[in-house]
Amino acid sequence: MRAIPSIVYCSKCGDIYRRIAWNNRGKKYTVWRCCTRVTHGPDACHARTIKEEDLQEAVVEVINQLISESSELKEIIKENIEKVITGDESGQIEEIDKEMLKVQEELLKVANAKKDYTELADRVEELRNEKEKILLDLAEEKNEQSRLIELEEFLDNQELEIENYDEELVRKLVDKIVVYEEKLKVIFKSGLEVEI
């Protein structure tokens, strides 16, 4: 977990957890601790310290849970991917473009006649914003879709449970790990959240 300190978060103060070499009565561990606690002491944040071993074990367990429930999960993923694909944004954009053209023509006429065209100009602005918002939503949906497809591909190719912590895999699948007093919450890039 060396290269990804930034995906482990403190539930108490929101800061990131950091990897630290720990020396306890001559025994060496690697642990993860809240940065606020490390820097400002337990009065600033009293989040617990977690052994790297335990952290990695928990993540492996969560991923294996997904693998064992993969048929159910794949159904849900499929539904979500389809929902994204059947969005009717392109039709909406076409409508907006059409209206925009009309309003702009109207605006030109009114302006040439030296009449007040404030309302029409406002409408153009409104349409522009609407279109921009749809384009943004569309980009976000595409993004979400590709993350879902990635998880689906992983589940398709992974029939056996994993045995060891795999840094590369975790980086690919996991967005955040939040450390609570009594549990961990693993948030996947697909939006899925699992507590352990």
What is the C-alpha to C-alpha distance for residues 84 and 78, in angstroms, rounded to an integer?
10
What is the nearest approach in angstroms of Zn ion to the Cβ of residue 13?
3
Sheet of 17-24: strands edge to edge?
17-24, 27-34, 50-51
Cβ of residue 103: shortest distance to Zn ion, in angstroms?
53
Nearer to Zn ion, 12 or 123 (CB): 12
CB of 9 to Zn ion, least distance (A): 9
Contacts of residues 135-142 at CB distance under 8 Å and 24 or more positions apart, as own/partner, are 135/93, 137/89, 138/87, 138/89, 141/84, 141/87, 142/84
> Closest approach of Cβ 22 to Zn ion, in Å?
17
Cβ atoms 137, 161 nearer than 8 A: no
Residues lying near Zn ion in the complex (CB under 5 A) are found at: 10, 12-13, 15, 34, 36, 45, 47
Smaller CB separation from Zn ion, 34 or 59: 34
Q: How far is CA 14 from CA 8, 28, 64, 176, 182, in A?
A: 10, 27, 27, 12, 16
The CB-of-55 to Zn ion minimum distance in angstroms stands at: 15
63 vs 179, beta carbon nearer Zn ion: 179
Pairing of strands 50-51, 27-34: antiparallel
Nearer to Zn ion, 13 or 155 (CB): 13
Q: Residue 42 burial by CB count (10 A; 0-12/13-18/19+): exposed, middle or buried?
A: exposed
Q: Toward Zn ion, which CB reaches closer, 9 or 117?
A: 9
